[in-house]
Structure 1
Amino acid sequence: MRGAKALLNFPAEVVVASSSMQKFKPTLRSKKSTDLDSSSSFSTTTTGTSQSESESGTTEEFSLNLGHTLWTIDYTQIQLLNSAIIMVEQSEEEKRIEAEQIEKLYEFGERLNEAKDKSQNASDYQGIIEATMTSIKTKQLAAQLIPRFFKFFPDFSSQAVDVHLDLIEEGDTHVRVHAIRGLPLFCKDTPEYLPKIVDILVQLLAAEEFLERDAVHKAIMSLLRQDVKASLSALFKHIGSVDEPSTDEFIREKVLSFIRDKVFPLKSELLKPQEQMERHITDLIKKSLEDVTGAEFRMFVDFLKSLSLFGEKAHPERMKELVGIIEGQADLDAQFNVSDTDHIDRLISCLYVALPFFLRNASSSKFLRYLNKHIIPVFDELPEERKLDLLKALAEISPYTTPQDSRQILPSVVQLLQKYMARRKTGEEMNFTYVECLLYAFHHLAHKAPNATNSLCGYEIVTGQPSDRLGEDFSENYKDFTERLRNVEELTRATMKKLTQGMAEHSKAMAAAKSNEAKDSIKTQKQNTTTGLRTCNNILTMTKPLHSKTPSFIGDKSVNLSWKEAVKPSVSSTSTTAGGKRPAAANGSSSMGKKGRGAGGMQNQHVNRASEDISHGGRGGGRGRGMARGRGRGWGGRGRGYW
């Protein structure tokens, strides 16, 4: 009784402090005795008890004489003490067995390491597998050894994988982490297991504990470095497509986050050989884009344009391919349904995504044709909050059009201009931001096809082409158009006066404001007023040259749209085209680039409210980019919310 001897060497209160005796709180009676020897003695006595005690009415007590103090412990406490002693002895026995098991595992591993023909040591590998049924520490070690020697024992492959997966489901975190870290080793020399291992790790991306989740991330990255092509294919399978939709939305989100945060930033390291792997991941992304949300789409396009395949020096065919991807997302081959707000959202957003590529001479023809054929004819039926978005997109795309496309869409733009530029003060609404967008688009389109305005606006521009139509009388068109211009200018100047007065009032209010909240509110109002003034200034700048019979159309960067950040003026001047005789760039190569959408909506409402007393209208110019509702396209049958 080695444990008992150890316990009996200490006073009772020390025994109670033992970890095995935390619940044992004996009541000890001590008697000082000067008559006792300094040596200890041990005796048993019987004492009477109350009626509530055992039927015998007595209980045994043990007296333990330690030094000059007599300690008395009742029999029940001795029983608890004995139980604690047994527990200690059992714990020591378990530790001894565990130590032997670990030692045996090390022996298995050492023999396998030293063996030249490891297949001859099948019993050692079998022993490692069987060790997974023992203690926690043994399982941790087995989780490292099983995958290390996996390739040498194909006959045990199924059993080895199964027991390793059992370790991944263990209750102990450290066992799970060791098992996860070992997963990539299964594929190192047996690549046929890689898709299965990736699938397992993907399911583990949802792990709650950081240590475990970090092990999963590192394991997947290890597999990507082993075989990037197969690993990417296995990962993207969980994102899904129309043909193979993802069955678990939660896991799909985890995979997307992993790809965005871990894979994309290391593209230069992982995508080797570069051209081959960039093409492979592009194909995977194109397939996944059949069923994505708006945010996912923008994420993927941003990544694609960061690849050398679509970089600044990319072949024009690559730009065509990338714009084709965006056109597919915009669903430009579908019949337009004016009640499908999701399609409108996608169309507008895709226009903005495509703008940088139009700047690099990619064709915008398909977008413009779709706008001209399907959208502008039903413009009045569009939701109010989408009208401004669409006109802003039309304005920003207009510098990147071909002469042929410009000629085709100009009639539709002029028709909208006539609608929103009132001929007289007859109570018709005057939406200043609508007019700014349409005038901007008109100038850039007419810059590419100037003589198309002869029949539309009554101008007399000579290019020497039959399309000049100079022998026809369009004087009424000219009279109507210029009358509308004059009315717009009058309303705009009056609105500018109101806005300028409002700016002075804002300055006074700012000086008197006490709280930060009040100051922030006034600051916002001042910003809105500033944008309103920019809108009005732009309108006056663009209407001024249009009174001439041979106007100069603005086709450069001299006008900066009110909702965009100001750009520094260019040193070179590509100014305007007079009479259409200056050759235009084939696809807007000298036109302004996109600087960002800006907020727009609130400022537009501000300038329109300022003009209400003048125009008897102007209820506001919309609210800028709206957030989406559901995906009307229902790609893949999921109907995932697009925006």
Structure 2
Amino acid sequence: MAEASEASNDIEKLYQYGERLNEATDKSQNVKDYLGIIEAAGGSVKAKQLAAQLIPKFFKHFPTLSVQAIDQHFNLCEDEELGVRVQAIRGLPLFCKDTPEYLSKIVDVLGQLLPAVENVERDAVQKSLMLLLRQDVKTSITVLFKHVGSAEEPGSDETIREKVLCFIRDKVFPLKEELLKPREEMERHITNLVKKSLQDVTADEFKMFINFLGSMSLFGPGAPAERLQELVEIIEAQADLDAQFDVSDGDHIDRLITCLKMALPLFKRGASSSKFLDYLNKHILPVFDKFPEEKKLDLLKNLAECSHHVSPQECRQLLPSVVQLLKKTMVRKKLEEMNFTFVECLLYTFHHLAHKAPNATNSLCGYKIVTGQPSDRLGEDFTELYKDFNERLSTIEVLTRAMLKKLTQGMTEHNKDMAAAKTDEERNVVKTQKQNATAGLRSCNNIISLTQPLHSKIPAFIGDEKINLSWKEAAKPSARSTAVTGDKRAAAAAGNGSGTYPNKKGRGPGFSQNQLVNRALDGVRGGGVGGRTGGRGRGWRGHGRGRGYRY
């Protein structure tokens, strides 16, 4: 009873302090009343809740008590009682309403409170942060990024860092149009903050930041090539293209492949791919045979997609390495093992590079292309090169047509199995088999389309995107454009496959388009038509915080 009476007295005193302060013309003269409020914050639960409302309300009138008042309020934010904590958190933005000099400190504290377990408490923290972001977005976002950390100023606590990043991603980024004003100034400021933070991020965090930067008007549609190049340079730094390559460094391989894929949309918009391609040419392609088996196809796919966006000079430099690798992949004997998807990637790359530097193929493949330049080397005899290249082309065409026939026959069986399936599980199994076969058909049809023009002494290299790579979603082609083998069923099967398969995930197992292709080819191999699987493994591996990615 005594405790209840004392608590009731404390609350009564708090109401009196508040009333006198409300009525006072010069509130700064009521120092004892404000001190009484601060001291009452150490009382009962209800007293603490009331004090949590009164301390920020009259804070601006007592600058000499600011440290004492804020410290006591922070204590309330960590109180054992949820109701007290929530009330105190909701009051934090009030400290900054008339005394903005405290905004940095308050945002910093709210950032530390983001890992709150209780939903109502976490909601209060997020709403308080949003109020302060709307009051001063530049200061607030700068303070939040300090929790993310950088090389010069690492983040303090891993849990806090993670929660702050989630808040930025889920609450700040979606409201960029509303919050980032003036737009150009704030987008540049955000870009600089992100750059500092990217030296210590996970793979998913890096993708998140790059996607966000790409969504800003600074780098949006109409942005000049030099600004897009700024994004490419950020990606290049993460790919560590200045480092000596070690083929046993799986983390570097993962980052390199994924960063190249992230940069592709920027290359399409006019940014330069020179540094990536130079690194591939000097460090990666020469040791391709030693590359992890599960990463080879990922690399070749990215190289193929990148081949559209290469300057003539870079094409000339890349072609020797690409042709050498292509010849290793193009078998000469029909009983040799061949990876069909590798061949598709490399033939596609070869066409697009040769289209911009055609006479470079004279000394590589024995062609007779005349451009009037000394590099034509028309006075030299490359007959044996031409003969060898054509033999390889003919062999892979035979193997590919045989594979097309088997895949087409398999599609007929799959259709029968689908009609006979009685359960959803059986239908799903057959559906997956049909998807695999369709993917294989598309890859084989592409190979035929790519090899046929290359038999001529003066071939017409394909330099546009009329051939849709087998792992990419395809527009609905006409039967005429797809029927490259003369087999209408094969053409229809390949033409109707949309290629809508899951892309590579940052973490965890999952099917990718190349897995579908190779499973299709594995399932019907025989009679001398062999091949290696090239499916991805389990995604990116982690290596702890430090240089590059954290997992």
- TM-score if structure 2 supplies the norm length? 0.91
Question: 2:304 maps to what in 1?
Answer: 395
User: 2:198 is paired with a residue of what secondary structure?
Assistant: helix
| CA distance in 1: counterparts of 2:413 and 2:93, whole angstroms | 68
Taking the aligned partners of 2:522 and 2:281, their CA distance within structure 1 comes to 30
Shift of 1:188: 2.7
Query: Any conservation in 2 of the 1:494–1:611 contact (CA below 8 Å)?
Result: no
1:235 to 120, 136, 144: 144
Contact 1:421 1:485 in 2 (8 A): yes
CA distance in 2, matches of 1:451, 1:301: 38
Task: Report the secondary structure of 1:629's partner residue.
Answer: coil
Distance 1:626 1:476, change over 3 A: farther
2:526, 2:43 → 1: CA distance? Answer: 86
1:222 aligns with 2:131: yes
Matching residue of 2:383: 475
Structure with more of its chain in helix, by fraction:
2
Match of 2:516 in 1: 603
Q: Does 1:210 align with 2:134?
A: no
Which of 443, 450, 469 is the matching residue for 1:561? 469
CA distance in 2, matches of 1:628, 1:605: 21
CA distance in 1, matches of 2:527, 2:29: 97
CA displacement at 1:442 relative to structure 2: 0.5
The 1-side partners of 2:96 and 2:542 are apart by 41
Q: For 1:292, what is the secondary structure of its paired residue?
A: strand
1:203 is displaced (CA, Å) by 2.0
SS in 1 for 2:370: coil
For 1:635, which of 541, 547, 550 is the aligned residue?
547
Counterpart for residue 454 of structure 1: 362
- Matched residue SS, 2:474: coil
Deviation (angstroms), 1:270: 1.1
Match of 2:430 in 1: 522
After superposition, the Cα gap between the structure-2 partners of 1:632 and 1:550, relative to the gap in structure 1 and judged at 3 Å, is farther
Separation (CA, whole Å) in 2 of partners of 1:305 and 1:169:
39
Contact 2:433 2:520 in 1 (8 A): no
Q: 1:275 Cα deviation (Å)? A: 1.0
Q: Do the aligned partners of 2:399 and 2:529 also contact (CA within 8 Å) in 1?
A: no
Q: Find 1:118's aligned residue among 7, 27, 33.
A: 27
Q: Secondary structure at the match of 1:627?
A: coil
How far apart, CA to CA, are the structure 2 residues paired with 1:606 and 1:124?
78
1:531 is aligned to 2:431? no
Which consecutive unaligned segments of at least 5 residues does structure 1 have?
Answer: 1-89, 571-593
Residue identity opposite 1:605 in structure 2? N
Change (3 A) 1:633 1:126: closer
- Equivalent pair of 1:611/1:618 in contact (CA under 8 Å): no
Judge conservation of contact 2:92–2:106 (CA < 8 Å) in 1: yes
Instruction: Verify the 8 A CA contact 1:327 1:367 in the aligned structure 2.
Output: yes
Gaps of 5+ in 2: 479-499, 505-511
Whether the 8 Å contact between 2:203 and 2:550 is mirrored in structure 1 is no
Contact 2:344 2:447 in 1 (8 A): yes
Taking the TM superposition and a 5 Å limit, the aligned residue runs for 1:226-265 are 226-265=135-174
Deviations 1:241-279 (A, max 9, x none): 222222321111111111110111111111111111111
Contact residue 397 and residue 448 of structure 2 kept, 8 A: yes
1:564–1:597 CA contact under 8 A, matched in 2: no
> Could you tell me which residue of structure 2 aligns to residue 619 of structure 1?
532
Cross-structure match for 2:484: none
CA distance in 1, matches of 2:24, 2:253: 68
Root-mean-square deviation over aligned CA pairs: 2.1
Deviation of 1:151 after TM superposition, in Å, equals 1.8
Task: Please state whether the residue corresponding to 1:337 is helix, strand or coil.
Answer: coil
What per-residue deviation string (whole Å, max 9, x for no partner) do you get for residues 164-219 of structure 1?
A: 12212222211111101111222233333223222221221111111111101111
Map of 1:509 onto structure 2: 417
Which residue of the other structure, out of 251, 267, 273, is the alignment partner of 1:364? 273
Match of 2:100 in 1: 191
Structure ranking higher in strand proportion: 1
Offset, 1:411: 0.7
Aligned residue runs from structure 1 range 148-187, under 5 A: 148-187=57-96
Where 2:526 maps in the other structure, the secondary structure is helix
Q: Secondary structure at the match of 1:473?
A: coil
TM-superposed deviation, 1:405: 0.8
Partner of 2:324 in structure 1?
415
Q: Within 5 Å, which residues of 2 pair with 1:87-166?
A: 90=1, 98-166=7-75
Amino acid of the structure 2 residue aligned with 1:476 = E
Q: Is the 8 A contact 2:542 2:550 kept in 1?
A: yes
Q: For residues 503 and 212 of structure 1, what CA distance do their matches in structure 2 show?
A: 57
In structure 2, how many angstroms separate the alpha carbons of the residues matched to 1:542 and 1:631? 41
TM-score, scaled to structure 1: 0.78
**Structure 1 Cα separation of the partners of residues 97 and 284 of structure 2:** 55
Q: Distance in 2 between matches of 1:309 and 1:631?
A: 33
In terms of Rg, which structure is larger?
1
- Distance between the aligned counterparts of 1:633 and 1:481, measured in 2? 48
Structure 2: distance between partners of 1:104 and 1:174? 21
Question: Which of residues 216, 221, 224 in structure 2 aligns to 1:307?
Answer: 216
> Which whole-Å CA distance do the structure 2 matches of 1:134 and 1:496 have between them?
82
User: Following TM superposition, by how much is the alpha carbon of 1:610 offset from its aligned partner in structure 2, in angstroms?
Assistant: 4.8
AA paired with 2:98?
D
Quick one: distance in 2 between partners of 1:493 and 1:633? 50
Name whichever of 538-547 and 463-472 sits farther off: 463-472
The CA deviation at 1:311 is 0.8
Residues 201 and 220, structure 1, Cα contact 8 Å, conserved in 2: yes
Contact residue 411 and residue 456 of structure 1 kept, 8 A? yes
The 1:536–1:558 alpha-carbon spacing in structure 2 relative to 1, beyond 3 Å, is same
Q: Amino acid of the residue matched to residue 322 of structure 2?
A: V
1:281 positional shift: 0.9
Q: Distance in 1 between matches of 2:523 and 2:82?
A: 65
C-alpha deviation, 1:342, in angstroms: 0.8
Given candidates 401, 425, 434, the residue that maps to 1:493 is 401
- Using the alignment, how far apart are the partners of 1:210 and 1:259 within structure 2? 18
CA distance in 1, matches of 2:45, 2:265: 58
